[in-house]
Amino acid sequence: MTDTVVAASRSVRPIAGLLAATLLVAAGLLFTGVHARGSDPNGPEGWLQHVSMGLPLVATGVIVGIGSMTRCPWLMVVGGAVALPICLVSVVGLPALLPAGVAIAIGARGLTTVTRRDWLAGLLIGTALVVGFGYEVLHQDAADWTTPEGSAGSSNVVTTAESVLVLATVAFALLVAVCYARATASERS
List, as own/partner pairs, every contact residues 134-137 make where C-beta atoms lie below 8 angstroms and the sequence separation is at least 24, other chains included.
134/85, 135/162, 135/165, 136/52, 136/53, 136/162, 136/163, 136/165, 136/166, 137/89
Side-chain half-sphere CA neighbours of 58 within 13 A: 18
Q: Where are the domains of the chain?
A: 13-141+154-188
Band (pLDDT 50/70/90 cuts) for residue 163 is: confident
Band (pLDDT 50/70/90 cuts) for residue 161 is: confident
d(CA 51, CA 73): 28
- pLDDT (0 to 100) of residue 156: 55
Question: Which residue type, as a one-letter code, is found at position 146?
Answer: T
Whether residue 12 is predicted with pLDDT greater than 50 in this model: the reply is no
Query: How confident is the model over 96-100, as a mean pLDDT?
Result: 94
DSSP letter string, 125-154:
HHHHHHHHHHHHHHS---EEEEETTEEEEE
Angstrom CA distances, 17 to 7, 95, 122, 165, 169, stand at 22, 16, 18, 29, 24
Whether residue 61 is predicted with pLDDT greater than 80 in this model: the reply is yes
Report pTM: 0.84
